[in-house]
Amino acid sequence: MDAEKEYNKLLTTCNGGTRHYRLDEADTIYRAYLNMISYGEEADIARNRFIEMEQKLKEIGEILFEASITAEIPVHSSDGNSHSAKTITVTFNNGQVIVS
């Protein structure tokens, strides 16, 4: 959404209705467009993976009825330099999957 807003804002700000752009403006708009498309594709991939993993959790819940699994998940910062871990517990309770 933010990438699309940025793209639309650049179109409005740069051209003023004339459809004539400087080279640097055209480059900025083009890069914003590519980001918008890329983010949309990444969101679709993430959504599909989430649905797939949710199904797998439900399958595991049928096998491990009334059980729980605890795992340490590595978490990377946005700058890519610092690392930490987050403890996640998945509980299968009466056919429900609870992640905490």
Give residue limits of the domains in the chain.
1-63, 64-100
In b/e form, how buried is each residue of 57-83, taking b as 16+ CB within 10 angstroms?
eeeebeeeeeeeeeeeeeeeeeeeeee
**Residue 8 CA to chain centroid, in angstroms?**
21
pLDDT for 56-96, tens place per residue? 877 877 777 778 888 888 877 766 666 788 888 888 777 67
Q: What is the pTM of this model?
A: 0.51
pLDDT for 1-15, tens place per residue? 687 788 777 777 776
Across the strands, what pairs with 86? 73
pLDDT score recorded for residue 27? 87
Rounded CA gap, 23 and 19, in Å? 12
pLDDT score recorded for residue 10? 76
For residue 40 the two structure tokens come to 């949309």
Residue 30 has pLDDT above 80, yes or no: yes
pLDDT band at 39 (very low <50, low <70, confident <90, very high): confident
